Every structure is written in structure tokens, then in C-alpha cells.
Amino acid sequence: MTGGLAGRAIDWLAVRRRRQLEAVWRDPAGAQERALLRLVTAARDTEFGLEHGFRGIASVAEYQRRVPVRDYAQHRAGSSARRAARSRSRGPVTAGTG
């Protein structure tokens, strides 16, 4: 243990962090699910999140049902198609509209 106020603060932070890590070690699947759900919540209003119904996802199983497994090429092809569709729906860009 280190002395002084700064030392006690560092000790407290170290103990707190150790407890957090121990919780992850005891339940790695739970930690992964919590991390996934934090990411899903953060992305729920993105184009991808809206497309896959992220607002209704509350579990790993629900995520797996809504988001198909695909490789990068498939993901990129879908992104390109969405961008092209969005461009077509906006119409031509003319002076003063772009």
C-alpha cells in the first residue's frame, strides 16, 4: 500500500479495477453479452441499426436472429447498394441543392 491521499486513491482504483476484472473472469459470456448490448444500443439509430431492428434487441440470441452472418464482401455489397438507392431517391444534384 502506498501512503498519502494520492496513494490511497490509487489503491482504491486498483482494488476497484481488480473486482471488475474478476467479475469478467467469473462470467465471460455475460461480460461479452453486456459489451454487445452496449454496442447495439450505441448503434441503434445508425443505418445498419435501423435496418436490423437494433431497438428491439435485448439478447445475443435476438442479435443472431436479426443480423445475418456475412463476410466483408457481402457487407460491402449491401452498403454499396444502399448508397446507390439513397442517391437515386434524392434525385439529381443541381446548383443550390447539393
Is residue 14 one of the residues assigned to a domain?
no
Give the model's pLDDT for residue 29. 93
The predicted model scores a pTM of 0.63
Is residue 21 one of the residues assigned to a domain?
no
DSSP 19-36: HHHHHHHH-HHHHHHHHH
Give the model's pLDDT for residue 95. 58
Percentage of the chain modeled with pLDDT above 90: 58
Is residue 78 one of the residues assigned to a domain?
yes
pLDDT at 86 over 60: yes
CA gap 98, 92 in Å, rounded: 9
How confident is the model over 54-72, as pLDDT tens digits?
A: 999 999 999 999 999 999 9
**What value does the mean pLDDT take over residues 46-58?**
94
Is residue 38 one of the residues assigned to a domain?
no
The domain of 72 spans 43-88
CA gap 56, 74 in Å, rounded: 24
Is residue 61 one of the residues assigned to a domain?
yes
CA gap 41, 26 in Å, rounded: 24
CA distance to 11, 83, 88, 91, per residue, from 94 (Å)? 63, 19, 14, 9
pLDDT at 34 over 90: yes
Is residue 76 one of the residues assigned to a domain?
yes
Report how many domains make up the chain.
Answer: 1
Give the model's pLDDT for residue 42. 98
Is residue 54 one of the residues assigned to a domain?
yes
The per-residue pLDDT of the chain, averaged, comes to 87
